[in-house]
Structure formats: structure tokens, C-alpha cells
Amino acid sequence: MDHTSAQYIGAGLATMGMIGAGAGLGILFGNYLQAAIRNPSAAGQERVWLFLGMALTESMGIFALVVALLLRFV
């Protein structure tokens, strides 16, 4: 296996981390919506945790993208 094909394989595997970020965001917002429907008075207090979880989950997806680009072009 040459160096270029190993770069492509590594970049492809690293981009699979973005799949986890997408699934994590779906689970996060789905559970928040379910909790907000069950208890609307507590939905405002939980919104802070929703945005924090969204930021952390999205940062992991961006990190996976950066690693994939580094593997591919460096």
C-alpha cells in the first residue's frame, strides 16, 4: 500500500466521526423536545444545557473534519 492510498483510507475513517456528531445532535434535540413537551415549565432552564451539549457535540464533528483534512493534505 502506498502513501497516498493510506492517506485516503485514514481521511475516510476520520470523517466517520462526523457521523457520530450528526447522530449525537439528533439524539440531543430529540430528547430535549420530548422533555419540553412533558414539562414545559422546565424547558427554559434546560435550554442552557442543550446549547452546551450542542456546542460540544458539534466541536467533535469539526475536530473529526480537521483531522481528516490534516491526514489528507499534510
- Distinct helix (H) and strand (E) counts, the chain: 3, 0
pLDDT of residue 32: 95
pLDDT in tens, the chain (74 residues): 888 898 899 888 888 888 988 999 999 999 999 999 999 999 889 999 999 999 999 999 999 999 999 988 88
Question: How many angstroms from the chain centroid is the CA of residue 40?
Answer: 27
Domain that holds residue 67: 3-73
How many angstroms from the chain centroid is the CA of residue 58? 4
CATH number for the domain harbouring residue 8: 1.20.20.10
Q: How far apart are CA 72 and CA 59, in angstroms?
A: 20
Domains in the chain, number: 1
CB 35 within 8 A of CB 43: yes
Instruction: Give the C-alpha separation, 39 to 53, whole Å.
Output: 20
Is this structure's pTM higher than 0.85?
A: no
